[in-house]
Amino acid sequence: MRETNWEEVSKMECVTKRVVCNKCGKEIGIIHNYGRVPHDVFQDYCQVDTHWDHHKEHNQKHADVESFDLCEDCYNELVKSFEMPVYKF
Ligand SMILES: [Zn+2]
């Protein structure tokens, strides 16, 4: 059995304060007061987190997780260089 009650709870949350494009160094713009989100949000950008699960067996070049961010212009430039198109859905 659970006895519940509606209470206002405050909790710590990791909030991103600044995003910079890894390729060109441009700062990603902030959208203040976006919808009902209690913190600022960023303009669209590409966020990549790569998990190298088997790197220890085959390749020592990578950390377990590597990440980078790209502004929209750098993303578009990168995607144009692909031999195969990006999957869109
Ligand atoms: Zn960029």
In the reported structure, the alpha carbon of residue 32 is separated from the centroid of ligand 1 by a whole-number distance in angstroms of 21
pLDDT given at position 59: 62
Instruction: Flag whether pLDDT at 34 surpasses 70.
Output: yes
Note the pLDDT tens digit of each residue in 21-32.
999 999 999 988
Report phi then psi at 31, rounded to 5: -105, 110
pLDDT given at position 70: 98
In the reported structure, the alpha carbon of residue 81 is separated from the centroid of ligand 1 by a whole-number distance in angstroms of 15
In the reported structure, the alpha carbon of residue 28 is separated from the centroid of ligand 1 by a whole-number distance in angstroms of 9
Domain locations in the chain as residue ranges: 30-80
Task: Report pTM.
Answer: 0.75
Confidence of residue 20 (pLDDT cuts 50, 70, 90): very high
Beta strands 46-51 and 41-42 are unpaired
